[in-house]
Structure 1
Amino acid sequence: MSEYAAVARGVTKRFGQTLALDDVGIEIRAGESHALVGRNGAGKSTLVSVLTGMQVPDAGEVSFFGEPAPPVADRAAWRRHVACVYQKSTVVPELSVAENLFINRQDLGGGLISWRKLRREASSLLETYDVAVSPDELVSALTVEQRQLVEIARALSIGSRFVILDEPTAQLDGPAIERLFDRLRSLQDKGVTFLFISHHLQEVYEVCQTVTVYRDARHVVTAPVAEMSKPGLIEAMTGEAGGLNVPGGDDRPSSGEEVLRVSSLSGEHFSDVSLLVTRGEVIGLAGSASSGKHEFAETVYGLRRPSLGTISVDGSAVRGGDVPAALKAGIGCVPRDRHQQGLVLDLSIAENATMSTAGSFVWPSAQRSAGRAAIAAYDVKAAGPDQPVSDLSGGNQQKVVMARALAGDPSVLVLINPTAGVDVKSKESLLGVVDAQARRGKAAIVVSDELDDLRVCDRVLVLFHGRVVREFDRGWRDQDLIAAIEGIAGEMDAGQ
């Protein structure tokens, strides 16, 4: 068997006038976790589409374990060679775990479906890969972490020993990420090879042995992770020396004038949370995935209905559970999931960027003008305002979501994981927008699993089991914030 699970050489791919890959390559050793990193638009997604047989390169060749890639039309052969677990889940929520594991092959090769045999085979598969879910459970009831493990198990059951993981931790909290990494290491020990794509560079150092960097559609460097420093890795990605530059807000003025007041708010997964945000102030919300921070933020901007409590903007009450009412009151939002909640992928940049003003008629010429303004203001890499957002990279899609949130000039911004799945420079750009809006007198709530996102905040509140347990002023230490998020801080304080 070849020492390489997958090899791509001399791959070039164009989409019209856009050069997506320019004579790139990658060599992934069998049994390793190999990271592929780069800024949004660097060519990572296009390489994945070539490695999975979804796109035919204009030039170049691909092989798996020393054998040439199969014809593109032979999808079954591709699935035996390579599988991809995408950031956007491909499991079917309405089907059971067993049905998802053997989707399109429920007859197990026998012609007729035996549901008893299907459940038995699913149980065996789940046990083999230590996935602790019932084969009869609906996938819609699973956590994000469990869905990912089901997708990995499904890929391995087909026979593939090479799995591509596309932003696998984007929707996981700290403990879930550690469990996923433990599972990856265990599977590596069993001979499974991973191509690991992530914008979280720390994860590259935790789980990968080799890293490849693409920039502007070209291959920049491949090196052992142990020999690549973080500043060196960022420089390879951006072409610029230095690390992440997040605005700290130390010199940001605050008038002390109240903008948002949340009083004794309770809802799904959180209870009795009160909050006052003044003009020019940025408040951070931190906590685990089960802390209630997401549900609280979604209640503030109207996606969820509170069970108790009140919300007011500029002294006026806001009707709960009503997104249009929240928009009218002056609350703009960047939702948790840009694909499901933030964008209509088939619509243009201009249409998406002006969607929050859809309560009034917008002339097409004014809409395109607003789209061009958004492209310029938020540095969206695009052909023009009429380009569908589905054609954009993840970072540029997130910039369009931010443009839409700000289109109505809201008084309050609620931003949930605002830099999820974006590269270093896009992260800097998006957090810079938050800082700039605060300097204009806007109030903002930033809810994030990433500590760097919270550095733009004046204060950070930590939720644990649905309640605020700690508050940190600007200048907090990572270890203190993490301890509070994990519920350790209270125990430490009690023991002092």
Structure 2
Amino acid sequence: MSQAPAKELPGQEPAAGAPPPAVHAEGVVKRFGPTVALDRVRLTVQAGESHALVGRNGAGKSTLVSVLTGLHAPDAGSVAFQGEAAPAFGDTTAWQSKVACVYQKSMVVPDLTVAENLFLNRYGLAAGRFGEGRIRWPKLRERARDLLAEYGVEVDPAARAKDLTVEQRQFVEIARALSFGARFIILDEPTAQLDAAGIERLFARLRELQRQGVAFLFISHHLQEVYDLCTTVTVYRDARHVLTAPVAELGKADLVQAMTGDAAQSATAWQAGAAVRREDEPVLRAEGLALDGAYQAIDFTVRPGEVLGLAGATASGNTALGETLVGLRKPTAGRTVVAGRTVRPGSVPHALGAGIGYVPEDRHRQGLVLGRSVAENATLTVTDQLGPYGTVLPSRTREFAQSMIDSLDIKTSGPGQSVSDLSGGNQQKVVIARALARKPRVLVAIRPTAGVDVKSKDSLLGVVREVADSGNAAVIVSDELDDLRVCDRVLALFHGQVIAEFDSGWTDRDVVSAMEGLPVTPGGRKGDDEDE
């Protein structure tokens, strides 16, 4: 039954006489060519507040961060910090005194000490008597120690940054930002690499800083953390502002609905293939696969005619799991079996020989040789079939490529056209052509429709469906709901574990909830493959 749309609740407005907001953005527009990345969005974060910004991929969160940190100038709209207009674009020093972002990937210099990182490019603060000449290292470490103590960061200023924990590096970055005078800190997926104890310590320290008037914009795919830390949440969807509401007054189902747009939307765009016969021997079997720091003890099977989805947000482990299946990563435990044959761990050639085809996430970096032709790219995995005694005959290459062009309806002037001249959707079809060239038993596709138009997306997913319908198997690794609709089953991963399983007919609300680590309704079954 369809759920009523989430009711937008009023955001926090400053009371009369209250200090101005830490940041206020209004009517912000940002375009990249024909793409509208932000469409008149707004955001207000009060002093001393932890404010969550959530939304699916492509919602505009990262673009807003780039505007709020001065990396991109907005095409329209305004940004103000503590009631004053944002600094001029390009004035790095002025921006540093207003805002800083602590990214998921640490920005500290690993081979420098904590003190050196804290005062990087500001060593003059510890120079000699006349402010010039040699740096006074004892004074630098003393200033660093005082700065860390001021914000309750227990780290040795003389320690190398590479020897710190993830949590400690984050607080070195926060302390550095505060030392410039910034009182607004953006935290982009700060818990992605932390365990439960580390998250608790991080949140405790953030609350202490809030009491000192520091404001935080908290960006996370883990919605439970929004409820644990934040007082207000803003939702973006499709580059637009959807709602701002007090967290305590917004239920989790309403929050997920605001992110997805239609909580009850189900998998009607794609019909599952012919019923998968449970008695058939699996084409692909993962047995106890584990990879330290990414995922742990995962089991699943994929039978003939089946498309399996591995759904998960950032740091869920689903991408690492997909890359393990194709041999790009070597698991620390477990094995992969294709049609009864164990695949050598961490070996791409052995995975290819065992019958696994691979569509990588980044077609430009991992999937294509952009300076080469369509034919050369499409036949990279079958050069041993293009001529006798290891030779590659141009005529056979063109013939083989033309058959792939015809079967996948690749829009090109011919096999000799440079692949870089094709549209994004047709480039992706070339990547898929290469993966299918050896007639794999299993096709593993990681975010196969990223960066392509709607029509191409439908066509690409149709190819994946055809692989399974021909009696083989396919695995789609993605956090895009449209990618997952082609699947017969979906396993949702969170923090390296399978936490729910869905048959076809799932709702956006349930799958998104599982990917964000929230409980799902009874339609979504809790993990563990029932066939094992």
Taking structure 1 as the reference length, the TM-score comes to 0.66
- Per-residue deviation at 1:195? 1.1
Cα distance between partner residues in 2 of 1:301 and 1:346: 13
- Per-residue deviation at 1:84? 0.7
Report how many aligned residue pairs link the two structures.
424
Partner of 1:33: 50
- Per-residue deviation at 1:51? 1.1
Partner of 2:261: 239
Q: Deviations over 1:213-266 (max 9, x none)?
A: 22333323222222222233233333324489899x9x8643452545678999
Structure 1 residues 117 and 236: CA distance shift in structure 2, 3 A? same
- Alignment of 1:4 with 2:24, yes or no, is no
Q: Which stretch shows the higher mean deviation, 365-374 or 133-142?
A: 365-374
- Alignment of 1:52 with 2:69, yes or no, is yes
Indicate the SS of the match to 1:108: helix
Contact 2:115 2:157 in 1 (8 A): yes
Structure 1 residues 123 and 66: CA distance shift in structure 2, 3 A? same
Structure 1 residues 348 and 168: CA distance shift in structure 2, 3 A? farther
Q: Which stretch shows the higher mean deviation, 191-200 or 75-84?
A: 191-200
Cα distance between partner residues in 2 of 1:14 and 1:323: 40
Choose from 75, 83, 93 the match for 2:92: 75
Contact 2:499 2:526 in 1 (8 A): no
Partner of 1:122: 144
Contact 2:502 2:525 in 1 (8 A): no
Contact 1:332 1:414 in 2 (8 A): no
Partner of 1:194: 216
Indicate the SS of the match to 1:23: strand
Indicate the SS of the match to 1:40: coil
Cα distance between partner residues in 2 of 1:355 and 1:327: 16
- Per-residue deviation at 1:331? 4.5
Partner of 2:354: 329
Cα distance between partner residues in 2 of 1:15 and 1:412: 34
Indicate the SS of the match to 1:56: coil
- Per-residue deviation at 1:125? 3.4
Structure 1 residues 95 and 224: CA distance shift in structure 2, 3 A? same
Choose from 481, 495, 519 the match for 1:449: 495
Indicate the SS of the match to 2:88: coil
Partner of 2:226: 204
Structure 1 residues 92 and 383: CA distance shift in structure 2, 3 A? farther
Q: Which stretch shows the higher mean deviation, 272-281 or 189-198?
A: 272-281
Which of the pair has more CA radius of gyration?
2
Structure 1 residue runs without a partner (length 5+): 387-395, 420-425, 439-443, 459-473, 482-496
**1:179 maps to amino acid:** R
- Per-residue deviation at 1:189? 1.6
**2:281 maps to amino acid:** E
Contact 2:424 2:452 in 1 (8 A): no
- Per-residue deviation at 1:301? 4.9
Q: CA RMSD in A?
A: 5.2
Contact 2:126 2:135 in 1 (8 A): no
* Aligned residues with identical type, % of pairs: 47
- Per-residue deviation at 1:93? 3.0
Partner of 2:252: 230
- Per-residue deviation at 1:329? 2.7
Indicate the SS of the match to 1:76: helix
Choose from 275, 278, 290 the match for 1:254: 278
Contact 2:126 2:136 in 1 (8 A): no
- Per-residue deviation at 1:134? 3.6
Q: Which stretch shows the higher mean deviation, 342-351 or 36-45?
A: 342-351
- Alignment of 1:372 with 2:426, yes or no, is yes
Partner of 1:494: none
- Alignment of 1:145 with 2:167, yes or no, is yes
- Per-residue deviation at 1:122? 3.1
- Alignment of 1:160 with 2:182, yes or no, is yes
**1:254 maps to amino acid:** R
- Alignment of 1:185 with 2:207, yes or no, is yes
Q: Deviations over 1:322-381 (max 9, x none)?
A: 33433443456799xx7xxx6766998999xx9998545775567848843858995545
Indicate the SS of the match to 2:101: strand
Contact 2:54 2:233 in 1 (8 A): yes
Cα distance between partner residues in 2 of 1:453 and 1:227: 27
Cα distance between partner residues in 1 of 2:466 and 2:424: 9
Cα distance between partner residues in 2 of 1:61 and 1:91: 30
Cα distance between partner residues in 1 of 2:235 and 2:57: 12
Partner of 2:83: 66
Structure 1 residues 37 and 360: CA distance shift in structure 2, 3 A? same
- Per-residue deviation at 1:177? 2.8
Partner of 2:238: 216
Cα distance between partner residues in 2 of 1:452 and 1:262: 13
